Structure 1
Amino acid sequence: MLLEEIIKEIAICRACDIWEHYKINVPPEGNWTARLMFVGRDPGREEIEQGRPFVGQAGRKLDALLKSLGIDRKAVFISNLVKCRPLNNIAPPFARAKFCADRFLKREIEVVSPKVIVCLGAEAARYLTGQVGVMSRIRGSVYKYGEIPVIPTWHPSYLVRLEKMDPEAYADRAWEMYYDVEKALNMADEE
């Protein structure tokens, strides 16, 4: 199955009621043969407006991190569990997120076949690792999705919020995210 076919299916998907709120699905983007894949929860407001994943404040935070590690965004693959934006940006129930991820993300991973997957946030980590719990406990650890190493880390939107509320904690979390992505990059280079 080609990624183009999956993207076409995403564009016409109406399989659940999440789509009804904004009536726009956001497909994944990036290098179809990427060594490194990033997976978040769902698109935000700016992502819906532009039809691309991680282009808002969180996306700019992710882009800056990638750049600091010498990674071109075009070299990685970026996706979400859920392709639609939930009403009021409230996390969809896990069963609904799993339904969407089983339909699309699972096949995206098969096609791209990344060397390492980085989970951005707890929801992506739960789906790809089975780990439920506090991100501070699971972030930076290596799990497996099939045979693919998976490293959970902070979602960049969390860093955006934290930067305004607690600059000191933000600095710590930003460093941890840098370390986690650097670890994933090093693992991808070794594979």
Structure 2
Amino acid sequence: MAWKMVEETVHDWERIDRLRALADGIGRCRRCPLSRHRTRAVAGEGPPDARMVLVGEAPGAREDQTGRPFVGPAGRFLDRLLAEQGFRRSDIFLTSCVKCRPPGNRTPHRQELTTCTSTWLLPQLRLIAPAVTVLCGRTAVAALLGGPFRLADHHGTFRRQGDMTYFITYHPAAAMRFAETAAAMQADLALLAARMGR
């Protein structure tokens, strides 16, 4: 019993060290043009053993200033939606497909998505090994599942790819703007909460 606890503790420290090394690498990354426009790269934050990872598109202006994910208006809206379903932000690892803010908040280009996802996001997901990865919005779905997905047809669904389970929903920035999208996202998160035993 004691050896098992020691092994788990060592594994947790190794995971923390590897996530920290990834975050350091993200902070120094110059693999795509987005690095030239950023104030701060946003690696993500949350427990290294989170059961849930939430992936957005890219940092916004506030995230770029602070180096923290989902801290702008969309992040506050997301916090409220999560809390309504019994989720605590402190239990979730929050990150994005690309770690640097695109100029003018444009959608990341395909090559930027591919580079950042393969170099940084997928290694983060493999280390954390969550029970579910929540993909918020069309860009996150395209980056991790590929293919053309209409969110209207696939939101609120689970997808299995390799050893990862993904859950598709809307991005909170879109849900803030459209009442119908907000209602759909609320229903999606209620379904997710039920599935995760909340």
TM-score, scaled relative to structure 1: 0.89
Q: Distance in 1 between matches of 2:147 and 2:20?
A: 31
Aligned to 1:61: 77
Aligned residues: 182
Maintained 8 Å contact 2:175/2:185 = no
- The amino acid across from 1:93 in the alignment is H
CA deviation vs aligned residue, 1:78-127 (integer Å, no higher than 9, x gap): 11010000111111212221111100000110111000111010010112
Stretches of structure 2 that go unaligned for 5 or more consecutive residues are 1-14
SS of residue matched to 2:33: coil
Matches for 1:116-135 after TM superposition, within 5 Å: 116-135=132-151
Tell me whether 1:158 sits opposite 2:138 in the alignment.
no
SS of residue matched to 1:33: coil
Shift of 1:50: 1.2
Matching residue within 184, 189, 196 for 1:181: 189
Stretches of structure 1 that go unaligned for 5 or more consecutive residues are 163-169
SS of residue matched to 2:55: strand
Q: Distance in 2 between matches of 1:22 and 1:96?
A: 14
Q: Distance in 2 between matches of 1:3 and 1:103?
A: 13
SS of residue matched to 1:39: strand
In terms of Rg, which structure is larger? Answer: 2
TM-score, scaled relative to structure 2: 0.86
Q: CA RMSD in A?
A: 1.6
- The amino acid across from 2:108 in the alignment is P
Distance 1:148 1:182, change over 3 A: farther
Tell me whether 1:7 sits opposite 2:23 in the alignment.
yes
Maintained 8 Å contact 1:61/1:156 = yes
Matches for 1:21-170 after TM superposition, within 5 Å: 21-162=37-178, 170=179
Moved >6 Å (runs of 4+): none
